[in-house]
Amino acid sequence: MEYLKIIGGSKLSGKVAISGAKNAALPIIALSIISKNNTEISNLPDVADIKTLIELLRNLGAKVNFKDSHSIDIDTNDINSTKAIYNIVRKMRASILVLGPLLARFGHCEVSLPGGCAIGARPIDLHIQALKKMGATIEVKDGYLVAKAPKNGLNGTTINFDKITVTGTENIVMAAALANGITKIINAAKEPEITALCEVINQSGVKIEGIGTDELTIHGSSGKLLEIDKIDVIPDRIEAGTYLCVGAITNSKITITNCDPNHLDAVIAKLEDMGFSFKIEDDKITILPAKTIKPTKIVTTEYPGFPTDMQAQFMAICCIADGVSIVEERLFENRFMHVSELSRMGADIKLNGHIATITGGKLSSADVMATDLRASSALVMAGLVSEGQTNVRRIYHLDRGYEKLEEKLKNLGANVERLSE
């Protein structure tokens, strides 16, 4: 098993280039299922989750050709199976993104239920309810969702999501693109990854109104496949936010490049509250050290609010801030698994339900275990400011979503090594 060995205490400096967004690339790859022509995607992040979805598409019969490690062509015209098998789906919950496109194109599909998830139950009831409202019948058989569309295809309707769901919105937007008539999604998620997906669909023959808002109107094509042009995946705002946090926790001046500062408002505002300042250019952000790192109060919420995917990284900074911080997790019920590992590194964190109270102090090195993707980066960050050697194990979680993490950190001057045992 591989692990990261981190010797903390180095000041960092320099530049780090941000990769394409995993969470934008996943729905775009799923979208290729409803494309007539080859879908050409560039700026793909080279991370495990992307490979898992490609494996799933290949298993369905799609041809995926890597032009280089960051660009692919997908041809879905030879898909000969509509069964998304458990052995692949279990590796990544976002595999559920093939449900809407498969059902819309082929009129039927079987998608394995994703199973347990490290950060809580993560139901998909809203995806299912919405597809049923579009006329689908969906039942669970042998651990699979067995979905069937009406004979003439899914029908446009009004979907009012009880709760804002990112992949739920993406699934329904993709299903609605081929449906008969107009689908209106009320209370849609409006993360930049959804805006990017809608823009591609809008340029591919299916009109979508309200892009970037919480009310989307999709003018379905009645089964006509999309004609997708080349797609360049948007920069990863969570990877970008993570490196800003790396700069913050080590109180170093570092510059992130190839990013979209507009997607990082909530993260930058919070770091400013904590005493850091910024120089922002077109696609570059430089974080400048703080005189003292101040405590803060964080409540996770949907975009454009503070992202749950940045909660663990900020908690690591709170562990060394000068005072008491409060972190409230509103989206996922079990997203505090990093707390016990940070505590093993000397953090003073009290948990009360979904609220953590963190009294800043010093962190010390330890052997810790990564528990989910973003929690893992928080442990790496903690290692960077702990004296001595921290070993972070189970880093396959990190590899799901961070491209070349240790290489990028080393380039900034961090003492990080990937080792095997």
Q: Identify the residue among 91, 127, 237, 338 touching ligand UD1 (CB under 6 A).
A: 127
- Give least dist CB 250 to ligand UD1, A: 25
Locate the DSSP E strands across 26-133.
39-42, 63-68, 71-75, 83-84, 108-112
Helices 311-318 and 337-344 pack at an angle, to 10 degrees, of 30
Question: Which is closer to ligand UD1, CB of 64 or CB of 331?
Answer: 331
The nearer residue to ligand UD1, 70 or 237, going by C-beta atoms, is 237
Sole window of 116-124, 205-213, 245-253, 379-387 interacting with ligand UD1 (rule: CB under 6 A): 116-124
The string of DSSP letters for 210-263 reads STTSSEEEEE--TTPPB----EEPPB-HHHHHHHHHHHHHTT-EEEEES--GGG
In 69-152, beta strands by DSSP E: 71-75, 83-84, 108-112, 137-141, 144-148
**331 counts as binding ligand UD1 under rule CB under 6 A:** yes
Angle between helices 166-177 and 125-133 (to 10 degrees): 20
Q: With binding defined as CB under 6 A, does residue 163 bind ligand UD1?
A: yes
Give the E-state strand segments of 12-91 in sequence order.
13-17, 39-42, 63-68, 71-75, 83-84
Q: Is 309 in the site for ligand UD1 (CB under 6 A)?
A: yes
- 249 sits in the region (left: phi over 0; alpha: psi -120 to 50; else beta) called alpha
Answer yes or no: is 309 a known binding residue: yes
Q: How far is the CB of 421 from ligand UD1 (least distance, A)?
A: 29
23 annotated as ligand-binding = yes
Indicate which single residue of 33, 124, 188, 225 sits in contact with ligand UD1 (rule: CB under 6 A). 124
| Binds ligand UD1 by CB under 6 A, chosen from 32, 82, 167, 376 | 167
**Contact with ligand UD1 (CB under 6 A) among 43, 165, 251, 252:** 165
Q: Tell me how far, at minimum, the Cβ of 356 lies from ligand UD1, in Å.
A: 17
Q: Quick one: which H or E segment has residue 121? A: none
* Binding of ligand UD1 by 123 (CB under 6 A): yes
Q: Annotation-wise, does 289 bind a ligand?
A: no
Does 226 belong to an annotated binding site?
no
Say if residue 93 carries a ligand binding annotation: yes
Asked if 125 is part of the footprint of ligand UD1 (rule: CB under 6 A), the reply reads yes
- Considering only residues 23, 311, 313, 386, which one is a binding residue for ligand UD1 as defined by CB under 6 A? 23
C-alpha gyration radius of the chain: 22
CB 54 within 8 Å of CB 72: yes
Amino acid of residue 271: L
Stretch that binds ligand UD1, among 158-166, 179-187, 256-264, 405-413 (CB under 6 A): 158-166
Contact call for residue 122 and ligand UD1 (CB under 6 A): yes
Binding-residue total with ligand UD1 (CB under 6 A): 19
Terminal Cα distance for the chain, rounded:
6
Q: Tell me if 196 contacts ligand UD1 by CB under 6 A.
A: no
**214 labelled as ligand-binding?**
no
Cβ burial 101-138 (10 Å sphere, 16+ → b, else e): bbbbbbbebbbbebeeebbeebebebbbebbebbbbeb
8 Å CB contact between 255 and 15: yes
- Decide if residue 308 touches ligand UD1 (CB under 6 A): yes
Q: Does 329 bind ligand UD1 (CB under 6 A)?
A: no
CB of 124 to ligand UD1, least distance (A): 5
Q: Does 126 bind ligand UD1 (CB under 6 A)?
A: yes
Of 151-159, 161-169, 203-211, 363-371, which part binds ligand UD1 (CB under 6 A)? 161-169
DSSP annotation of 35: B
Q: Which is nearer to ligand UD1, 293 or 373 (CB)?
A: 373
Q: Give the count of beta carbons closer than 10 Å to the beta carbon of residue 346.
A: 16
> 286: part of which helix (H) or strand (E)?
strand 285-288
Nearer to ligand UD1, 122 or 393 (CB): 122
Q: Mind spelling out the 3-state secondary structure of 296-360?
A: CEEEECCCCCECHHHHHHHHHHHCCCCCEEEEECCCCCCCCHHHHHHHHCCCEEEEECCEEEEEC
Residues lying near ligand UD1 in the complex (CB under 6 A) are found at 23, 26, 94, 122-127, 163, 165-168, 189, 308-309, 331-332
Q: Which residues are annotated as a binding site?
A: 22-23, 93, 122-126, 309, 331
Q: Which residues are annotated as a binding site for phosphoenolpyruvate?
A: 22-23
